[in-house]
Amino acid sequence: MQAKEVREILVREVMSSRPRTGRPDMTVKEAAALMLREGVGSLVVLEEGEPVGILTERDILYKVVALGKMPARVRVAQVMSSPVITISPDSSVAVAAKRMSDLHLRRLPVVEDGKLIGMLTEKDILRLSPSLIELTREWGKIGVGGGRSNGQGSLVGYCESCEAYSFDLTLENGALLCPDCREG
Binning pLDDT at 50, 70 and 90, where does residue 5 land?
very low
101-142 pLDDT, tens digit each: 888 888 999 999 989 999 999 888 887 766 655 665 565 555
From first CA to last CA, the distance across the chain in angstroms is: 6
Residue type, 176: L
Residue 104: which region, alpha, beta or left (left: phi > 0; alpha: psi -120 to 50)?
left
Q: What angle do CA 151, 152, 156 make, to 5 degrees?
A: 65
Phi, psi of 111 (to 5 degrees): -125, 135
| Cβ atoms of residues 83 and 63 within 8 Å | no
Q: What is the average pLDDT across 134-151?
A: 51
Q: What is the average pLDDT across 68-84?
A: 95
How many CA atoms are closer than 13 Å to the CA of 176, on its beta-carbon side?
Answer: 29
pTM over 0.95: no
Entry field: residues in the chain: 184
Q: How far apart are CA 17 and CA 121, in angstroms?
A: 12
Binning pLDDT at 50, 70 and 90, where does residue 9 land?
confident
Phi, psi of 68 (to 5 degrees): 70, 20
Domains of the chain: 12-128 (3.10.580.10), 146-184 (no CATH)
Q: What is the average pLDDT across 28-45?
A: 96
Q: How far apart are CA 22 and CA 47, in angstroms?
A: 9
